[in-house]
Amino acid sequence: MLWFVSVFEISEASNELEKPHWWKGKMGHLDKLNISRRVIAAARPRRKLDTVEYRREKLIANVEEQIELANLKLQGKPAQIKRKRGHDIVTVRPRLWWATEPDGHVYTQIRYNKVPLNILGQGTSIEVGPLKKLPSVYKTVIRAIEAGELDNSIDNAAKKSRR
């Protein structure tokens, strides 16, 4: 067993450390610092998201990506996604969640891990109308995700994708 004997004594009057008599003249790097006995609270550990919050965040990020793709389509620009892979930035082909019918109506699906979500038990697709309404529909979906209205559908899709 090791015993630690302090060479410093605490002065009753000032509550500071006093150096012993043989320490005089020895100047170390730490002696140049003002050392106190004040206790500083440790940094809070990062809170890990639980499964439901993690899945919501992931789905919201994917819906926001679809909003950006829809806005690019409305502006007539090519839909491209740039992702970081290692040290390189590569362009990947986007997976659009919507389809346009010959009459101009747009239908979309909300997907989690490539699995379409069953919305309110009624179906997997949403009729949007013209393409210009698509971003507002996706924003409504984001509000529903934040409110927890799609948690059961997300859980079922996660189970299906693990098979």
* 8 Å CB contact between 37 and 62: no
34 in a domain, yes or no? no
72 in a domain, yes or no? yes
Overall number of domains in the chain: 1
142 in a domain, yes or no? yes
Report the candidate in 15, 11, 140 with the shortest Cα–Cα distance to residue 66.
140
Does position 39 have pLDDT exceeding 90, yes or no? no
Residue pLDDT, tens place only, 64-103: 999 999 999 999 988 888 888 888 889 888 899 999 999 9
151 in a domain, yes or no? yes
92 in a domain, yes or no? yes
Q: What is the mean pLDDT of residues 8-26?
A: 58
pTM exceeds 0.75, yes or no: no
73 in a domain, yes or no? yes
41 in a domain, yes or no? no
Helix or strand or coil: residue 88? strand
Higher-scoring residue by pLDDT: 85, 4: 85
40 in a domain, yes or no? no
Residue pLDDT, tens place only, 111-158: 999 999 998 888 899 999 999 999 999 999 999 999 999 999 999 999
> Where are the strands (E) in the chain, listed by range?
9-10, 17-18, 81-85, 88-92, 98-100, 106-109, 111-112, 115-116, 125-129
Which residues span the domain enclosing 124? 52-162
Q: Binning pLDDT at 50, 70 and 90, where does residue 41 land?
A: confident
